A = this chain, B = another copy of it.
Amino acid sequence: MAVTVYGPSYSTATARVIACLEVYGVEYRQVPVDLAAAEHKQQAVLYGNPFGQVPVFEDGDLKLFESRAITRYIAKKHKGNGPDLLREDNLEESTMVNIWMEVEAHQLDKAVQPIIFQLLVVPVLLGGEPDQKIVENSVKNVEKLLDVYEARLSNSKYLAGDFFSLADLNHLPYLYYLITTPYASVITSRPHVKAWWEDLLSRPACQKVTANMKR
């Protein structure tokens, strides 16, 4: 039986889950939820997230929410059919995966989010003018963070070490939107970050997901 993902393709959290399903070739059904409609919170509750957010993920009787917990579930369940993205059998490697998953969630996404909101959400969905001061401050924050990434990626091919992991994959949605803004150079001007990003984006699963993120 196919699993079900409730959430629209342009939602970063939904795209994060779908990218992981695509990596393992898991069959899924997607039910879009219109985030612009006022009822989206009630819909998400109805589908199984008591906090009213997408995505909601359904596998048989199991209803899951929180995108990074869902990608952990998919990677753990399907690791026999694809890459071992969590490295749970190795204490040190799994810890490095966890550290860079936390960095993605608490540092990079937090810094990139206001840029995406101002440049993509405000003009396209809200019909307003971006606040350029917020954008510029956020770009500075992202640059400082990516300096650390550049140093890290000059020592190892991927974030957690010389192996592709969930820490890398979870970065796809926010960085994909960032690269479509006039500030793509924060990525492309840092040679190791650029090479890492191109490696990530070129994967067939990531190509498919980002093609659907374009509205």
Known A77-B91, A91-B76, A105-B105; judge A99-B51 contact (CB<8 A).
no
User: A98-110, CB under 8 A of B: which get 1 and which 0?
Assistant: 1101110111000
A73 with B95: CB separation less than 8 A: yes
Known A-B contacts A94-B76, A105-B106, A107-B51; the reply to A99 vs B152 at CB < 8 A is: no
Number of copies: 2
Size of chain A's interface in residues, with CB distance under 8 A?
29
Contact A66 B152 (CB under 8 A): no
A86 CB to nearest chain B CB (Å): 9
Q: A144-156 vs B: 1/0 string, CB under 8 Å? A: 0100100110000
Q: In the complex where A64-B95, A76-B91, A145-B51 touch, is A102 in contact with B151 (Cβ < 8 A)?
A: no
For the residues of A in contact with B, the DSSP-based class is helix
The answer on a CB contact under 8 Å between A95 and B72 is: yes
Return the chain B residue nearest A107 by Cβ.
Answer: B51
Instruction: Determine how close the nearest CB of chain B comes to the CB of A80; give it in whole angstroms.
Output: 12
A99→B62 contact, CB < 8 A: no
- The B-contacting residues of A in range 28-80, CB under 8 angstroms, are 50-51, 62, 64-66, 68-69, 72-73, 76-77
Interface residues of A (CB under 8 A from B): 50-51, 62, 64-66, 68-69, 72-73, 76-77, 88, 91-92, 94-95, 98-99, 101-103, 105-107, 145, 148, 151-152
